Amino acid sequence: MQNILRISDAAAIALHTAGYLAGQEKPLSPAMDIAKALGVSYNHLSKVLQQLTKAGLVRPARGPKGGFALSAAGRKARVRDFITVFDGPPALTHCLLRHKVCGSRGCVFGDLLAETNRRFEAALNGRIPEFSMRK
């Protein structure tokens, strides 16, 4: 059976980083501060920030007061955009057996997966500033 939801560690770090940056009052956050706040490896975070910068979702600033911030595109981006950078477009799961054995009618998981897909789609379409405010 396949998992209902697969998000890589890199994509999860990217989402948490975006939420962290969206919630900061300071214009820039150093990578070391972000890593400490999220409890993730500085090296792994650096690679994630590099990819997010390349994708145009984060903007870096060099120098002693440097750091990272969400770019204008990053502030407008949806959750799915951050996941896509690392995992490709998110796919919804309609059947745990990877095929339609029962057409989801009468399946013990049919309603559960349909509801999960609706909620996941809503989360994917959320914007990062909204995501960062959720508690």
When pLDDT is cut at 50, 70 and 90, the band that residue 1 belongs to is very low
In angstroms, the CA 3 to CA 105 distance is 20
State the residue range of the domain holding 16: 9-133
To the nearest whole percent, how much of the chain has pLDDT over 70? 83
Alpha-carbon separation of residue 69 from 43, 52, 55, 77 (angstroms): 18, 11, 13, 13
Confirm whether 4 is domain-assigned: no
pLDDT recorded at residue 134: 40
pLDDT recorded at residue 120: 87
Confirm whether 120 is domain-assigned: yes
Confirm whether 2 is domain-assigned: no
18-22, 38-42, 47-51, 105-109: least confident range: 105-109
For the chain, helix (H) and strand (E) counts, in that order, are 7, 2
pLDDT recorded at residue 106: 64
Mean pLDDT of 4-15: 89
Is 84 within 8 Å of 125 (Cβ atoms)? no
In sequence order, what are the beta bridge partners of 78? Answer: 127
Number of domains in the chain: 1
In angstroms, the CA 21 to CA 25 distance is 9
Confirm whether 99 is domain-assigned: yes
Write the CATH number for 27. 1.10.10.10
Confirm whether 100 is domain-assigned: yes
Confirm whether 1 is domain-assigned: no
pLDDT recorded at residue 108: 72
Residue 127's SS3 state is strand
pLDDT recorded at residue 100: 57
In angstroms, the CA 70 to CA 57 distance is 6
Q: What's the predicted TM-score (pTM) here?
A: 0.82
Confirm whether 114 is domain-assigned: yes
Q: At what angle do helices 79-87 and 42-54 cross, to 10 degrees?
A: 110
